Structure 1
Amino acid sequence: MATTGVITVSAVVLRNAAGSSVLTVRKRGTTSFMFPGGKPEPGETAAETLIRELEEELGVNLDPAALRPLGVFRAAAANETGFEVEATVFEHPTVPIGGPAAEIDEVRWLDLGLEIIPDDIAPLTALMLPALRADPRER
């Protein structure tokens, strides 16, 4: 199917204390797990979007100074057929994770050691896993 548009988002990689797993979330009414984050409000920077979204969705307070840019990545959108998602992705040191809130239904840690990527992982998250596996140190 041809791509009909691009959705701009911000996402964050949060590892567990051992650095062996990354946090993924599943939004209400969807089946794919992805890195936490979301769409910007008008005038927000990518980092500001993350700070707001993580507070709303997981009760997590990110330190803006601790956000490390990983780059801008593009992949098929998990929940919008015919669209691509263009994500500015950051990594942040380990923080305590609250429970799901707002539009998040489920939180799941994804083991970076898995040889086969689960079928319910969003394309953007799956795209980034090899690079994250190559750098498994604690964050």
Structure 2
Amino acid sequence: MTACTDSKNAIIHIAAGLLLRPDGRTLLVRKRGTQAFMQAGGKIEARESPAVALARELEEELGLQVDPAQARFLGQFSAPAANEPGYVVQAEVFLLEIDAEVAPTAEIEEVCWVDPHSDINLHLAPLTRDLILPFYRASLTPPA
């Protein structure tokens, strides 16, 4: 496979987006044939920067065109893969503020905008549930 998956270490290298609307809601997606909702994004291809990979995946999966230069790097996060047992996803996570409609295409079956400060009654991927949403709550939201 390409540089995105390191089979020796069972690591899947991805770029993921914390996409925020002006009202603070964040976008989650569910891939066809799966149960877990997660950040939009996907595998980083060989010789592709993470920000460019994210822009490519957002266009393929959601019809969303973004400028990779507008993506603000938040950090690298790792968690068990939601859909590939025995693998860990290592995600380069970027913040993108958008005010555009999105629609599921390609392998995405469902999209939803969620309020990260409320109870989210969805099956969430470990990366989303344990790392990205808590990070958003702790560091990207103005204090009350």
**Residue 124 of structure 2 corresponds to residue 121 of structure 1:** yes
RMSD of aligned residue pairs (Cα, Å)? 1.4
**Residue 16 of structure 2 corresponds to residue 11 of structure 1:** yes
Q: Distance in 2 between matches of 1:66 and 1:95?
A: 13
Identity of aligned residues (%): 48
**Residue 98 of structure 2 corresponds to residue 94 of structure 1:** yes
Which runs of 5 or more structure 2 residues have no equivalent in the other structure?
1-8
In structure 2, give the amino acid aligned to 1:124: L
**Residue 49 of structure 2 corresponds to residue 45 of structure 1:** yes
Structure 1 residues 74-85: aligned runs within 5 Å: 74-85=78-89
> Could you tell me whether the CA contact under 8 Å between 1:60 and 1:95 is conserved in 2?
no
Q: Distance in 1 between matches of 2:44 and 2:69?
A: 19
Moved over 3 A (4+): 116-119
TM-score (structure 1 length as normaliser) = 0.88
> Could you tell me whether the CA contact under 8 Å between 1:13 and 1:89 is conserved in 2?
yes
**Residue 64 of structure 2 corresponds to residue 60 of structure 1:** yes
In structure 1, give the amino acid aligned to 2:83: N
Q: Which has the higher contact order (CA 8 A, sep 6+)?
A: 1
What residue number does 1:136 align with?
141
Which runs of 5 or more structure 1 residues have no equivalent in the other structure?
none
1:117, distance to aligned residue in structure 2 (A): 4.8
Q: Distance in 1 between matches of 2:68 and 2:81?
A: 26
- Specify the SS of the correspondent of 1:96: coil
Deviations 1:41-73 (A, max 9, x none): 221110111111000110111122211000000
Q: Distance in 2 between matches of 1:38 and 1:118?
A: 24
